[in-house]
Structure 1
Amino acid sequence: MNLTALKETHGATEALPTPTQDDLPRRFGDFPTLIDALEYAALGARGVNFYSARGDLLVSARYADLRVRAEKIGRKLIAMGFAPGDRVALIAVTHVDFVAFFLGCQYATVLPVPLPLPTSFGGRDGYISQLHTQMESCRASAIIGPDAMDDFGKAASAGLGLKFCGSYEDFDALPVDLDGPFADSDGQPIRPMAGSLAYLQYSSGSTRFPHGIAITHKALMANCAGQGRDGVQLIDDDRCISWLPFYHDMGLVGTLLTPIANQVSVDFLATEDFARRPMQWLGLMSRNRGTITYSPSFGYDICARRVGNDQLKELDLSAWRVAGIGGDMIRPEVIRRFADIYGPAGFKPTTFVPSYGLAECTLR
């Protein structure tokens, strides 16, 4: 069953999230490429799950489902004339479509470039200008995003001569022959090597305008292996919960690509939904027995300030074993306040793990 069918047939009342445990032996990112990691994870039952602001399960997709869709996307990119090394800008919405297209680019040996969603700063014109500058700097051949942002993509791509500009849905609907010129003798897409580039990651732009960093498959797998094996020391009961954006390395690598490379199920809440209802993050940690999550200090601070006594009584955070904290200044008073408030719900102060990441300093 493809992911479109999953979205149409699995309502919030009947869908079940992918399991925390399965029988697939754990491998800690010891793969040549992200494709190899995905195909191994696809042998098990784990996968990704996307939740609404109200905490309802919207989409549940096994890594096996993602592999099937990603290969189809890759073959279509090849058939459309995308050459190895071409850049495909992806608006990094927290949705299964972004994940499938990011992985699909790997099957075509083209480079996905996650780009941010609009913020309240700069307005429409500022956002369009940022997208245009980033697409121009990475020499993008396409931009793909959610249907609701199609106008932004078209405005930002003016004058860039892209091969494709449209929504994820538009791309899926294209009637394209899947036999492409960059396939091997069996008609299969040419796969990347360990030393090939996997994607371009724009820096956060905290000290200057965001600039693109080229990440190889070898570097990515080394990062994922280090995080899973040595950083959080994954165990069979681990399940990741995240509201972090996919255009930031903490969200993209820490809570999406590392779980794929280490075969972990993940539950996602959109960043904008967390901003509106931050307690849904901890609600998912409690309900799904989440063990690993990451956040800048302000995420823990917001939840410490927003929780009510009735909400606190409903939470069970006793399974939580890694509370990664980083991405901004780690403030001791935030850690103490959060631990004090959520201690009665089973949260342990030793759960906090200082975390550090930098797009420019990915392991090589």
Structure 2
Amino acid sequence: MTHDPALLDLEPEEMRRLGYRMVDMVVDHWAHMSDKPAAVDLEVADIRPRLREPLPEAAGSWETALEKAQHDVFESMGQIAHPRFLAFVPGPSNPVAALADIMTSGYNTAASLWRETPGPVELELTTLEWVKELCGLQNQADGVFTSGGSVANMIGLAVARDARLAGDMNGAVIYCTDQTHSCVARGLRILGFQPEQLHAIPVDSEFSMDLTVLRAAINSDRVAGKRPFAIVANAGTTNTGSVDDLNAIADLAAEQDLWVHVDGAYGGAGTLSQEGQRLMAGMERADSVVIDPHKWLFQPYEAGICFVRDAGLMGHAFASNPEYLQDVAEGEDEVNFSERGIQLSRGLRAFKLW
């Protein structure tokens, strides 16, 4: 196999032709969405042989590759934006956001270090402020866009761990319900907690956290010498959409000096409606909150957000200062998203929502 750097380039007119073809395909997809099946009925034997090919020895035409991708990839999947795609919680996206991703990729846009990409970073900061206002979370200080709820929840819990445990995780206990999304348990394992440090509280007849059982569990754990430090409350569970009593949980947490993390990945954006505001009352009191724009804010994958109420705690959990980042002095008001999450290299996720 020979290497020719020119193979990565396209003449401007050829790139336009390819781009117009792709845009036409996407527009046709949206225009005829209702004519397609909402779900696909494929077995591994139906699709894998089409795509498991030997590594090509030479480049082929983009026309051939695009035709194959349209049939074997993009038409071989459930159509999440279909009007009858009701089985799962992801939102249906929207055409403007889909086209926005062309700009983001076309400019190869990063949004990590302010000095490197000040425009994209400021755009993400603005969009975070808008989401806070939309969802009634103006008292949340810092935020970061993520790939989705799994990473956003892990970021919030990492901040809680560092803020409340001071590096000592022995005997620490965190509470959730038996309806809490599985990513919470998985994220805690990644953060170094043992499975027995997560206590799943039963739910009531409305599938919400039983606060009587929660209070008893906290008191029992303290008597046993354990160290309760956080509660994960649900603002819309994946199973039923149930919402915990967020105000009551915030009251109990204040009494017991516990961190409150609200997983609103699914339902948090419901605060845009009056009924949602009633159900989510108290979410604004949380120490950290997760919202997924790729659900009820109708954005394409990937788009999650983690907010933290107290300024600086994200930086305390994630900031680092290796030599290769010390080439330029930082200004006082500059924000580096690498200090608010686990990624240094990160793309611009907010443009499609902005």
Same fold (TM over 0.5): no
Structure number with larger C-alpha Rg: 2
Q: TM-score, normalised by structure 2?
A: 0.29
Q: TM-score, normalised by structure 1?
A: 0.29
